[in-house]
Structure 1
Amino acid sequence: MRSKRQLEAAILLEIEHAKQHRKGREDSFVELKRQFPDDKRKAARQIAAICNAARGEDVLWIVGIDESTGQIHTPESTDIQDWWPGVAKYFEDVRPDMTHLVVSVDEGAVVGLLLETDRAPYVVRTDGRGQAQLEVPWRDGSTTRSIRRRELMRLLAPTAEIPEIEFLSAGATAEYYIDSDPVIRLTFHAKVFVDLSNAVTFPRHRQRAIIQSATGEPFVLNIDFAPFPQTRDIPAVHIETPTTVNFYAMTTYSGTPEETIGWAEDLGRSEELRLDMEISISGAERTVPWTARLDSRTGEEEKPAAMDRSWRIATWSIGT
């Protein structure tokens, strides 16, 4: 089960992606809704479907993001107690455990629903128009349908075991430079040792990380397996024996010139950064979270008096 901070980090990742690409990102574990659906029976069926297909991994429903445009639309009500009980009543016997969190950004507020899926299969009541009174729904791409036998067999099969993961080191470097406007570039690296008895796969698109100063803006990182500036074409890492795995990220941030300068100055004052990272393994029931303080600061340059030239702010690290 993710902490509230980890849930907030995951929601911020989806918001940032939607803003950058002007389109929401949905996959087998993330569903975006502009508003809370009025049809609660249909919502229960959709939730049961994505939770069944997740096979034990957490599912994130985010209400307040338009999937087609990426725009933020604050729900008419952010009180989940006005909506969730009407959805939950359509589940037969067991429903997914749910944690919710309201996250506010400049454009508005969204509501994140973190759904635990470790008690699948989830069964919902139908509308009673046909002979079947109950259904096991399944998510297939972006559609919802009844589960097939082979999918039910897969759902009931054991999921992948979580290997022992030891975090060895992590570091981040922040740079300020002038393009047409001021920009902050943040590069990141982490190394972990994976001790396993069975082969595992780390899918790139499911890895999560966020870095934040004590008082500043959270920097959301899109994780890769190749260091910047190498071509990022490694969709996953598959390992069969104990070994180390490296994670990399490079991201740029810019707002108004005043905002970007403010972020740079905040980083310049920061003696340490907080790292929240989640490592995801294909077929596993949960992610592996890690929270650390990057408290060894080196390599800083003197701040430009007028902030009119490039500035290597600093490097923060932990481990060896």
Structure 2
Amino acid sequence: MRAIDLETQVLAAVERIRKGEKTENDLIECKRAWPSNNKARQLAGSLNRAAGDAVIYVIGIDEKDGSIHDTSDTDILDWWSQIVGQFDQVPAEMVRHIDVPISNESVVGIAFSSDRAPYVVKTGSPKPSLEIPIREGTGTRTARRDEVLRMLAPAIRVPAATVLESNFSAVHYPPLASAENAANDYRREESVHAFGTADFFVEHDGRDLVTLPTHAMDGIIEVGDLSFTLNVTPDWFQSETKAPRKEYIDRQREAVLISGPGVVPLRVDVEGLLLSHRKLLETTNSVTVRLHLGILHTSKPLVIEMELNTNPREHQLPEDLNRWSVRGK
């Protein structure tokens, strides 16, 4: 992990804490003080859950109120030697540590590699003397056999993704004027609908094939105080290009196959809309979209979050209630 990547994630974690948002997850921990050596089990549990991704510790911040605390009285190498001693055979690897300035203060950011899982720790008891821990929620427990087997399987890394463009539309279809028109139209009753597209660039190095199954794609859209489920599918097509060309993104009905960098386009439909939501759709200037794209052979999804803002200039059709869009920089 590059120093700039570690610093960026630490700053993002601090910002979320100070906004009152949830910060800790399977891959990041915030600590007010240096963890004691009996916390090696907790670190090992996070590493065993990470499946190849880096685990990050932010030392010197109170996760409850965001206050910064001085931790300079402890030498990081002395602390690390005590933690390493709690591992059996293969210890965790601290791949990078940096001081990250926060206004006139600073915190310590540490990145740990998880690519040698499973990590085993000493229990301090004769029976059993060793344990393979795994993180679950905010706690740590002993890993089950199936979880240990998944640790031993080749890790498929979740590729980084950048939103290029996303557009959503909300429309109102009035009741049909005549029975004759109704017979020739799929719309029988007055209704509201919302749908959209999302194009994102996948930064994949091509070492492993990444498969995004269609049945594991979903998401939510937040419109005002309400949330609606999203039906997400690949925007697949059959290329009509006659000349052969190397394609790293194979879009199919059943899945998206990623073997290198490229653009993945998706179609999205909003579910659960009622006529009573018409005013909400019409007056909401900003919506938040979260897409969860499951990856074959790993429990970690590719998560894409974006905020779309209304664009009045794009309201061109009589049935348009609102249109929201976002474009990457």
TM-score normalised by length of structure 2 = 0.53
- Equivalent residue number for residue 30 of structure 2: 32
- Given that 1:14 and 1:24 are in contact with CA atoms closer than 8 Å, whether structure 2 keeps it comes out as no
- Given that 2:17 and 2:64 are in contact with CA atoms closer than 8 Å, whether structure 1 keeps it comes out as no
CA distance in 2, matches of 1:231, 1:144: 34
Per the alignment, in what secondary structure is the counterpart of residue 102 of structure 1? strand
1:87 to 61, 73, 83: 83
The one-letter code of the counterpart of 2:52 is G
- Given that 1:24 and 1:68 are in contact with CA atoms closer than 8 Å, whether structure 2 keeps it comes out as no
CA distance in 1, matches of 2:5, 2:155: 23
- Equivalent residue number for residue 96 of structure 1: 92
CA distance in 1, matches of 2:83, 2:25: 22
Alpha-carbon displacement from aligned partner over 1:211-269 (angstroms, at most 9, x marks no partner): xxxxxxxxxxxxx99799998867997752265258xxxxxxxxxxxxxxxxxxxxxxx
- Equivalent residue number for residue 2 of structure 2: 3
Residue 133 (structure 2) pairs with residue 122 (structure 1) = no
The one-letter code of the counterpart of 1:71 is S
- Equivalent residue number for residue 241 of structure 1: 256
2:46 to 47, 50, 61: 50
Residue 188 (structure 2) pairs with residue 192 (structure 1) = no
CA distance in 1, matches of 2:230, 2:54: 21
CA distance in 2, matches of 1:190, 1:197: 17
Deviation at 1:96, TM superposition (A): 2.2
- Given that 2:212 and 2:294 are in contact with CA atoms closer than 8 Å, whether structure 1 keeps it comes out as no
The one-letter code of the counterpart of 1:198 is T
Q: Aligned residues: percent identity?
A: 30
- Equivalent residue number for residue 60 of structure 2: 64
- Given that 2:47 and 2:114 are in contact with CA atoms closer than 8 Å, whether structure 1 keeps it comes out as yes
Deviation at 1:51, TM superposition (A): 0.4
CA distance in 2, matches of 1:227, 1:169: 20
Alpha-carbon displacement from aligned partner over 1:7-57 (angstroms, at most 9, x marks no partner): 100000000001111x651111111111002x31x1211111110111111
Cα RMSD (Å):
4.3
The one-letter code of the counterpart of 2:7 is E
* Structure 1 unmatched ranges of 5 or more: 171-188, 204-223, 247-279, 288-315
CA distance in 2, matches of 1:106, 1:77: 20
2:70 to 68, 74, 80: 74
The one-letter code of the counterpart of 1:122 is Y
Change (3 A) 1:197 1:145: closer
Change (3 A) 1:72 1:153: same
- Given that 1:56 and 1:284 are in contact with CA atoms closer than 8 Å, whether structure 2 keeps it comes out as no
Deviation at 1:194, TM superposition (A): 7.7
Change (3 A) 1:230 1:193: farther
CA distance in 1, matches of 2:116, 2:127: 26
CA distance in 1, matches of 2:14, 2:32: 13
* Structure 2 unmatched ranges of 5 or more: 166-197, 235-254, 258-262, 267-292, 303-326
Alpha-carbon displacement from aligned partner over 1:72-114 (angstroms, at most 9, x marks no partner): 2232436411311111111112122211111111262111111
Structure of larger gyration radius: 2
TM-score normalised by length of structure 1 = 0.54
Alpha-carbon displacement from aligned partner over 1:135-189 (angstroms, at most 9, x marks no partner): 11111111122212222223223333666x897958xxxxxxxxxxxxxxxxxx9
Change (3 A) 1:153 1:193: closer
CA distance in 2, matches of 1:137, 1:104: 33
- Given that 1:194 and 1:245 are in contact with CA atoms closer than 8 Å, whether structure 2 keeps it comes out as no
CA distance in 1, matches of 2:105, 2:230: 33
Per the alignment, in what secondary structure is the counterpart of residue 8 of structure 1? helix
